[in-house]
A and B are shown apart, each in its own frame.
Chain A
Amino acid sequence: MMKRRNFLVATASGLAVFADTQHVFARALAQTPLPGLPGGEDRCLVLINLYGGNDGLNCVVPHGNDRYYQLRPALAIARNDVLAIDAQVGLNPQMRSFKSLYDKGVVAIVQGVGYPDPDHSHFRSTEIWQTAAPDRYEHTGWLGRYFDEAEPARENLFKGVAVSRVLPEALISNRTDIPAIPALNEYAMVADRDASARRAFSAAAHDRSVPFQSPYLAHVMEIEGNAQRSSEELPKLVAGYTTKASYPATGLGRSLALAAQIIGSNLGTKAIYVEHGSFDTHVSQRTTQDQLLLEFSNAVAAFYEDLAAHGNDRRVLTLTFSEFGRRIEENGNHGTDHGEASPLFMIGGGVKGGLYGAPPDLNDTNMGNVRFAVDFRSVYATVLERWLGRPSAPVLKGQFAQLPIIA
Chain B
Amino acid sequence: MAAQARVDVGGILRPQGRPDMSNALQPYRETLGERAAAHLLRRAGFGGTPDEVRRYAAMRADDAVASLVSVPSADSIGPPQEADVDGPIDDKIEARDSELALQLWWLNRMLTTQAPLQEKMTLYFHGHFTSRSTRRFPRITYDQNALFRQWATGNLRELTRAVSKDAAMLIYLNGASNVAAHPNENYARELMELFTLGVDNYTEQDVRESARAWTGWRVTRSTATVRFVPSQHDYGTKTFLGRTGDFDGDDIVDIIFSQAQCARFFAASLLNWFVYNDPEPELVERVGTLLQEHNFELTPVLAAILGSNLFFSERAYRALVKSPVEFVIGTYKTLGLPAVDKAVLPALVQMGQHLFYPPNVAGWPGGENWLTSGTMIARQNFLTRLLGSQTLEASPWLRGLPMTPKSAARELAQIVLQDDVSPASLVELEGYLGGSGSAALAMLSAENFDQRVSGAVYLAMATSAYQLN
Partner-B contacts on A (CB < 8 A):
1-2, 13-15, 123-124, 127, 137, 139-140, 157, 162, 165-167, 169, 172, 174, 177-181, 187-191, 193, 196-197, 199-201, 203-221, 223-224, 226-227, 230-231
Contacts and interface: CB of A to CB of B under 8 A. Distances in A.
B373 A177 contact: yes
A166 B359 CA distance: 12
A196 B80 CA distance: 45
A212 B469 CA distance: 12
Given A209-B422, A218-B4, A223 B465 contact: no
Nearest to A215: B13
Nearest to B277: A215
A401 B8 CA distance: 30
Nearest to B425: A207
Contacts of B320: 216
B420 A212 contact: yes
Interface in B5-44: 5-6, 8, 10-11, 13-16
A210 B460 CA distance: 13
A214 B314 CA distance: 9
Interface string B304-348: 000000000010011111000000000000000000000000000
Contacts of A13: 424, 427
Interface string B428-463: 110110010000000000000000000100111011
Contacts of B321: 216, 220
A212 B320 CA distance: 13
B1 interface: yes
B361 interface: yes
Contact of B374 (A127, A180, A200, A203): A180
A216 B423 CA distance: 21
Contacts of A177: 372-373
Contacts of B276: 215
B376 interface: yes
A193 B1 contact: no
B380 A139 contact: no
Given A216-B13, A223-B376, A226-B373, A203 B421 contact: no
Contacts of B277: 215
Contact of A205 (B2, B422, B462): B462
Interface stretch (B110-118, B146-154, B250-258, B363-371): B363-371
Given A204-B425, A212-B318, A227-B377, A220 B365 contact: no
Contact of B2 (A137, A167, A213, A231): A213
Contacts of B15: 213-215
Contacts of A207: 421-422, 424-425, 463-465
A193 B376 contact: no
Contact of B4 (A172, A203, A217, A226): A217
A201 B456 CA distance: 10
B376 A15 contact: no
A179 B372 contact: yes
Contacts of A127: 359-360
B212 interface: no
B432 A196 contact: yes
B465 A189 contact: no
5 tightest CB-CB pairs across the interface, nearest first?
A: A215-B13, A180-B374, A227-B376, A13-B424, A174-B10
Contacts of B314: 212-213
A15 B374 contact: no
Contacts of B429: 200, 204
Nearest to B318: A214
B383 interface: yes
Contacts of A2: 6
A104 to B, nearest CB: 36
A15 B381 CA distance: 24
Given A137-B362, A191-B381, 14 more contacts: A13-B424, A14-B423, A124-B360, A174-B10, A190-B384, A191-B462, A201-B459, A201-B462, A204-B421, A204-B462, A207-B465, A210-B464, A223-B373, A223-B376
B52 interface: no
B392 to A, nearest CB: 16
B459 A219 contact: no
Interface in B375-425: 375-377, 380-381, 383-385, 419-425
B315 to A, nearest CB: 8
Interface of B: 1-2, 4-6, 8, 10-11, 13-16, 132, 194, 276-277, 314, 317-321, 349-350, 352, 359-362, 365, 367-369, 371-377, 380-381, 383-385, 419-425, 427-429, 431-432, 435, 455, 458-460, 462-465, 467-468
25 contacts: A15-B428, A137-B362, A139-B365, A139-B369, A174-B8, A174-B11, A177-B373, A179-B373, A181-B374, A190-B380, A197-B459, A200-B459, A204-B421, A204-B425, A204-B463, A207-B421, A208-B422, A210-B420, A213-B1, A213-B318, A214-B317, A215-B319, A223-B372, A223-B376, A231-B373
Given A166-B352, A201-B462, A172 B369 contact: yes
Given A140-B10, A174-B10, A169 B359 contact: yes
Contact of B465 (A124, A139, A200, A212): A212
Contacts of A208: 1, 422
Contacts of A174: 8, 10-11
Nearest to B5: A215
Nearest to A206: B464
B458 to A, nearest CB: 6
A179 B352 CA distance: 13
Contacts of B361: 137
Most buried by A among B321, B385, B424, B460: B424
A209 B352 contact: no
Contacts of B462: 191, 201, 204-205, 224
A49 B362 CA distance: 23
Contacts of B8: 1, 174
Nearest to A175: B10
A137 B360 contact: yes
Contact of A219 (B194, B349, B365, B371): B371
Most buried by A among B369, B371, B374, B465: B374
A123 B381 contact: no
Contacts of A197: 432, 455, 458-459
A191 B13 CA distance: 30
B468 A220 contact: yes
Nearest to B375: A167
A209 B360 contact: no
A359 B255 CA distance: 49
Contact of B372 (A165, A178, A189, A199): A178
A228 B447 CA distance: 29
Contacts of B317: 212-214
Contacts of B350: 165-166
Given A139-B365, A191-B458, A215-B15, A210 B371 contact: no
Most buried by A among B194, B361, B376: B376
B384 A14 contact: no
B377 A189 contact: yes
A230 B373 contact: yes
Nearest to A13: B424
Most buried by A among B15, B429, B467: B467
Contacts of A157: 373
A291 B367 CA distance: 42
A191 B386 CA distance: 11
Given A14-B424, A139-B10, A207-B422, A227 B373 contact: yes
A199 B462 CA distance: 12
A214 B360 contact: no
A206 B424 CA distance: 11
A224 B464 contact: yes
Contacts of A178: 372-373
